[in-house]
Amino acid sequence: MLAVAMTGVAGAGAPAAPRGVDFHPSRILVMPLGGQFLPELEALQRLRGRTVTHVFPRLRNLHIVRLAEGEKVAEAVAQVRSLTGVAWAEPDWLVSAAGLFPNDPYFQNGTQWALNNYGQNGGVADADLDAPEGWDVVTAASEVIVAVVDSGIRATHEDLVENLWRNPLDGTPGFNALSGQHDPWDENGHGTHLAGIIAAVANNQRGVAGVAWRARLMACKFLDGSGNGYTADAISCVEFARSHGAHLINLSWGGAALSLSLSNALWSAQAEGMLLVAAAGNNAANNDLAPYYPASLPLENLVAVAASTRTDDRWAFSNYGAASVDLFAPGMAIYSTASSGDSAYESRNGSSMAAAHVSGALALMRQQSPGSSPVEIVAALRRAVDFKPAFAGLCLSGGRLNLRKALDWPGLSVSSSNGMAQVRVSGAAGHSYVVAGSTNLTDWTALQTNVAAANGQWVFTDSESTNRPSRFYRALPGP
């Protein structure tokens, strides 16, 4: 007969429940030791008021058991584990789709397709930043100051006010080069829209989610209500940002004239380790042939961004350039914060919006790797793209920004065991990664795809390595 084990140690050897992990309130999973115990096990469950709702014959008769009314999961698991005819019993753990989904309404209803595109409104599924998968790794850049050098920011907006940088001297949110005061109020809406894309407060049940859920937005105003401004005022804003600790400057504007003065100001910002993001322009032009400044300035820390659509095509008006534009990012029908009211939102198009997506991504990357140099961060950003035919030959990277890849590039180390190479991949627990091999560093073959364990690692043993010429390995984010 099925008997209670005499050891009295309920659930000995079974893994403990991780903190904060939830489970089904009235259901458990039970694995019998063998088929001979099945009738007695099911009879015992009935005696306790439980019901076996399903048995998986191909999984060694794994049982799904519904508990009796009012029975506690932990107590039921402990009791069933103590039976000699049971291999294990465990709660029916709650799991979630890989990816963190904020509760902001315009993210939830699919309006923010750039962050999570599942084919809504004529889009192509996955023509997006893979933002939820990226947010699984890091959501906030609370230590990073992003200067939005533009038309200012509506400082009272419900989705921005909590993320505004504040001057420690007077509590103001930035600088207005037009007035010479610290009142960068937005009369145009362009800067407010960019600010929301970069770092609207996320998961607050309001409006939209920024790429960086938390970052410190510094408002630097030099564009007037018509969206026009002069180089001298832009330089004043850059200097304010540089002297007040900004780590990144968003430059979603430009023109055909090369200003040596602006170039020098941005070079000085670069020399102090600041990241620069510039819009490629909206003239449907090739920036390799007709430069657009400041995007076309040859600065190591400057990222030039073109605009893509919800179908992973180039937005028809976006500039491009195989040698002068770094990558594409979503820039068409982008919904974000508006300056017309404290709870106002609107849709805009342009490489300005594409640049703002990249600024948000760079803020998260810098938060994640504060010890990395700007040049290293920019290189990591360029490789963190989804390669698409529509962007081949139109930008340096040949692809569109992918936030998950930018934040979740795995580490790799190689050792030897019994003459075979052992490749250890380090990343985020539960995320998939690919190990690829090459003998010439040019042609790469995927060798294995796997999911990192709870410690964020998995080890691939290359059983063929003893029968091959010495080869190189690399790890990549998986599908």
Tell me the average pLDDT across 367-381. 94
pLDDT computed for residue 126 by the predictor: 95
5 has a pLDDT exceeding 50: no
Tell me the average pLDDT across 329-337. 98
pLDDT computed for residue 4 by the predictor: 32
pLDDT computed for residue 97 by the predictor: 52
Told to judge if 150 belongs to the known catalytic residues of this protein, a careful annotator would answer yes
Lowest mean pLDDT among 112-116, 145-149, 369-373: 369-373
pLDDT computed for residue 264 by the predictor: 95
Q: Which CATH class is domain 410-477?
A: mainly beta
- What confidence tens digit (pLDDT) does each residue in 83-100 have? 878 888 999 886 655 567
16 has a pLDDT exceeding 60: no
Residue 267 CB coordination number (10 Å)? 16
9 has a pLDDT exceeding 70: no
Alpha helices, DSSP H, located in 203-288? 231-243, 260-271
pLDDT computed for residue 1 by the predictor: 35
Question: Over the chain, what is the mean pLDDT?
Answer: 90
Q: Which residue, chain included where needed, has tokens 């001057």?
A: 167
Q: Which residue, chain included where needed, has tokens 């008021």?
A: 49
Measure the CA–CA gap between 321 and 240, rounded to whole angstroms: 31
pLDDT computed for residue 478 by the predictor: 84
pLDDT computed for residue 11 by the predictor: 33
Told to judge if 128 belongs to the known catalytic residues of this protein, a careful annotator would answer no
pLDDT top residue among 24 and 350: 350
Q: Which of 252, 318, 324, 352 is catalytic?
A: 352
Confidence of residue 10 (pLDDT cuts 50, 70, 90): very low
pLDDT computed for residue 59 by the predictor: 85
Q: Which of 190, 193, 357, 431 is catalytic?
A: 190
pLDDT computed for residue 99 by the predictor: 66
Tell me the average pLDDT across 258-270. 95
State if pTM tops 0.75. yes
Per residue, the 3-state secondary structure of 82-126, as one string, reads CECCEEEEEEEECCCCCCCCCCCHHHHCCCCCCCCCCCHHHCCCC
Q: Tell me the domain boundaries of the chain.
A: 23-93, 105-406, 410-477
- What confidence tens digit (pLDDT) does each residue in 17-59 have? 444 447 889 999 999 887 667 788 888 888 889 998 988 888 8
Lowest mean pLDDT among 288-297, 358-367, 395-404, 447-456: 447-456
Told to judge if 193 belongs to the known catalytic residues of this protein, a careful annotator would answer no
Q: Which of 104, 150, 312, 462 is catalytic?
A: 150
- What confidence tens digit (pLDDT) does each residue in 392-431 have? 999 999 999 999 999 998 888 888 877 788 889 888 888 8
CA angle 224, 236, 254 (to 5 degrees): 55
pLDDT computed for residue 95 by the predictor: 62
Fold of 105-406: Rossmann fold (3.40.50)
State what percent of residues in the chain have pLDDT above 90. Answer: 70
Q: Exposed (0-12), middle (13-18) or buried (19+): which is 229, by Cβ within 10 Å?
A: buried
Measure the CA–CA gap between 377 and 275, rounded to whole angstroms: 9
| Bond prior to 294 in cis (omega within 30° of 0) | yes
CATH-assigned architecture of domain 23-93 = 2-Layer Sandwich (3.30)
